[in-house]
Amino acid sequence: MPTGKLHIQLTDLRGTALNAKVELDFQRMSGDLGVGGEGLEARIPMGSSTDAIISKVSCRGGPGTMYRLSATAPHYRDYSFFQLIMEDTVNPASDDVEFWVKPGDVKDIRVPDFSDLPLTVQSILNNAQTTTEKPEDRDLVGLSGKNLYENLGPLRKACLLNIVKKASHRSTDSCLPHIQGLLLARQDRFFAFVDAGLEDSVNLSTTFKSAGNSLHTPPAGFSMRRSFKSRDAHANIQLTFMMENASGRLAADIDIDESSGIEHGLEVIRNATFRSRTNPYLIREFLLSADPVEHSLDPGYDFVF
């Protein structure tokens, strides 16, 4: 029986090795496309490698055999695509498999030390005036600087690192330096004082557009102003401006969202929620997927399973 080989690349969204066992399931297509094929399961201990070659994949001589190929790895979403196998050939995979994490499998994250954060981010934390609006905020009241950073916990810390990376990027006019002291930190957003001119700057920017603000309720003592969202296709940052009534200082409720979905193999990944809120671990994946070449939106933390 004729056979061919498959050369496939298997990585996470950073393009790095999974250091895990990957299972590949070859299912031949029905009808004429699948003639000559046989079901095949391959288990590959990837270790530090990102490439694998699967041998002895049955196929039809001449036009070859079309398979639906599914790749599975612990803690990651399955990835599927269609693959033609030709005889006596090392067939390159029709798709590079980049696994997206299953957010619910993440137990913790490894993050940079406070002293290794960009100085602008350290300043946002050092100038924090943490307050409370809901019971979930109480554990952070009065904290600032390194103490605040270390007490955020994995979800809120991931959200912070996602937002400051996005806010430092060219797709947001690198607005991070205009963000001042942190007021509230949540797993899906943070609220902070900002420069007085940031609202007008964003309004005039070609990288932002007006957005609805119905999902953003002003904290006590603040009044709603306008909301803007970055125009990029995925991992949009939204800045919803509010004014502190007593002082007239400008603040912004800042979050990253993904509502339109993005293709992942034969699946469309859409925004997931955790406790009815955007999951910051999935937002990290959207950020990485938005720039798969330079990885300029990598927020710089690792998952612990």
Q: What is the mean pLDDT of the chain?
A: 94
DSSP state of 116: G
d(CA 30, CA 98): 26
- The CATH code of domain 3-99 reads 2.60.40
pLDDT value of position 272? 54
Q: Name the DSSP class of 258.
A: -
Question: Residue 238 — very low, low, confident or very high, per pLDDT cuts 50/70/90?
Answer: very high
Q: How buried is 244 (Cβ within 10 angstroms: 0-12 exposed, 13-18 middle, 19+ buried)?
A: middle
Q: Average the pLDDT over 176-201 and give the result.
A: 97
Extents of the domains making up the chain? 3-99, 104-304
Distance CA(191)–CA(35), nearest Å, equals: 59
Rounded to the nearest 5 percent, the helix, strand and coil shares of the chain are 25, 35, 40
**CA triple 13-120-175, angle to 5 deg:** 70
| Spatial separation of the C-alpha atoms in residues 265 and 35, rounded to whole Å | 24
Give the pLDDT band of residue 260 (cuts 50, 70, 90). Answer: low
What's the whole-number mean pLDDT along residues 272-281? 72
pLDDT number for residue 216: 87
In tens, the pLDDT along 67-106 reads: 999 999 999 999 999 999 999 999 999 999 999 999 999 9
- Nearest-CA neighbor of 228 among 190, 254, 262? 254
Q: Which residue has the tokens 């939106």?
A: 297
Per-residue tokens: 195: 């420069």
